[in-house]
Amino acid sequence: MRTRTAVVISIACAVTLGIAGCANNAQGGSGQVVAGSSSSASGEKVTIMVGGLDKQIYLPFMLAKQLGYYDKAGVNVSLIGEGAGVDATTEMMAGKVQGTGGFYDHTIALRAQDQSAESVVSMLQVPGEVELCRSDLKGTVNSPKDWKGRHLGITDVGSSTDFLTQYLGTQNGIDPSQTTRIGVQAGNTFIAAMQHKQIDCGMTTEPTVSKLLKDKTAYVIEDMRTAAGAKKSLGGTYPATSLYMQTSWVQAHKDVVQKLVNAYVATLKWIQTHTAAQIADMMPPDYYAGIGKAAYTAALASEKGIFNPTGIMPADGPKTCLAVLGAFNPKVKGKSIDLSKTYTNEFVQAAQPLS
């Protein structure tokens, strides 16, 4: 398996003068606290690290803050942006933060390594990820079958985009060792890596996808922004964004977890009853500064169906995630994993409306 880490990001930042700030305030790539409850919030403080806070797939975390739902739920939340979900997971397992906003599949990978974390609310029914390739490769790279010898962009080694990229390759006859996967995080650094041909193809989400398509920098070869697209690429429902926490912390702080889940269930319901334009109006301006509010809103409208309307884990989702990880990950392959210990619906089922 050949990989290159996010050292490429510093190169991308240095050469891309036309793109504002490689780690913008919304993403908080430096690990700084970028958002949270109001200064007057009461209740136990909880810090959640999100693997790409300004991505639309992680929108509920910031939207809950913008709607004032953390305060209404009675929990004092600090959100920290991090470039990749795998890094956020590492920080959580080290006890530096209480929760991670990332893809559910990390809890399966942790369980395979005898570590215990669980998703307490499922926010996305499908990954919302798109595999793009540089426009100059059109006609040469038509699918993952053409990836041999290619440089593939992922958020970071060990991230969910890394998992999904390897799976797409293996399903199309390309062993992970036949490609070079490069950690380029997301947003501006991903864009720069593609513009300067440091990667041939790469996996990313909105609003980055729309920007690259609008600029004609890239084209789509795999689209997992719909249930049909996810099934075509991955073989079934693939629950993605969730809030997951160490099982020991959940068990010791059930009252706090319940307040968090109350806030997120309310946020997911709010998304279902409002338009993309109304949602965009609630988001901080730097979330769409690089693409423009109109394009941000259009991208959100096209993929609004990715959000889980209830917060309940899709019944067939965990099995699909395990099948993906077990196809190539030696830490997961062949292991007997009790999927019921990687998530819980307890708190979503008990969620109370916010007053």
328-340: pLDDT as tens digits: 888 898 899 999 9
Spatial contact of 202 and 208, defined as CB atoms under 8 Å apart: no
Does the pLDDT at position 34 exceed 70? no
Query: Average pLDDT for residues 247-275, to the nearest whole number?
Result: 98
Query: Average pLDDT for residues 136-148, to the nearest whole number?
Result: 98
On the question of a cis peptide bond just before residue 127, with omega within 30 degrees of 0, the verdict is no
Cα 238 from chain centroid?
12
Residue 353 lies in a domain: no
The phi-psi region of residue 77 (left if phi > 0; otherwise alpha if psi is between -120 and 50; otherwise beta) is: beta
Per-residue pLDDT of 64-74, as tens digits, reads 999 999 999 99
3-state secondary structure 217-246: CEEEEEECCCHHHHHHHHCCCCCCEEEEEE
Residue 172 lies in a domain: yes
3-state secondary structure of 347: helix
- Selected residue with higher pLDDT from 6 and 222: 222
Q: Cα(13)–Cα(20) distance, rounded to whole angstroms?
A: 9
Per-residue pLDDT of 191-209, as tens digits, reads 999 999 999 999 999 989 9
Closest to 108 in 3D by CA, of 167, 183, 191, 196? 167
Structural domain count, the chain: 1
Q: Cα(12)–Cα(105) distance, rounded to whole angstroms?
A: 29
- Reported pTM: 0.86
**What range defines the domain where residue 157 resides?**
1-347
Residue 355 lies in a domain: no
Residue 206 lies in a domain: yes
Q: What confidence score (pLDDT) does residue 32 get?
A: 54
Residue 237 lies in a domain: yes
Does the pLDDT at position 33 exceed 60? no
Banded model confidence at residue 289, pLDDT cuts 50, 70, 90: confident
Q: What confidence score (pLDDT) does residue 22 get?
A: 37
Per-residue pLDDT of 151-160, as tens digits, reads 999 998 888 8
Which tokens belong to 49? 């690290």
Sheet (strand 151-154) strand order:
2-4, 180-183, 151-154, 201-204, 130-134, 218-223
Does the pLDDT at position 4 exceed 80? no
3-state secondary structure of 185: coil
Which tokens belong to 232? 């075509």
Residue 354 lies in a domain: no
Question: What CATH number does the domain containing 209 carry?
Answer: 3.40.190.10
Q: What confidence score (pLDDT) does residue 227 get?
A: 87
Q: Cα(348)–Cα(336) distance, rounded to whole angstroms?
A: 27
Residue 229 lies in a domain: yes
Q: What confidence score (pLDDT) does residue 28 get?
A: 42
Query: Average pLDDT for residues 79-89, to the nearest whole number?
Result: 78
Residue 242 lies in a domain: yes
Spatial contact of 196 and 190, defined as CB atoms under 8 Å apart: no
Spatial contact of 135 and 163, defined as CB atoms under 8 Å apart: no
Q: What confidence score (pLDDT) does residue 261 get?
A: 98
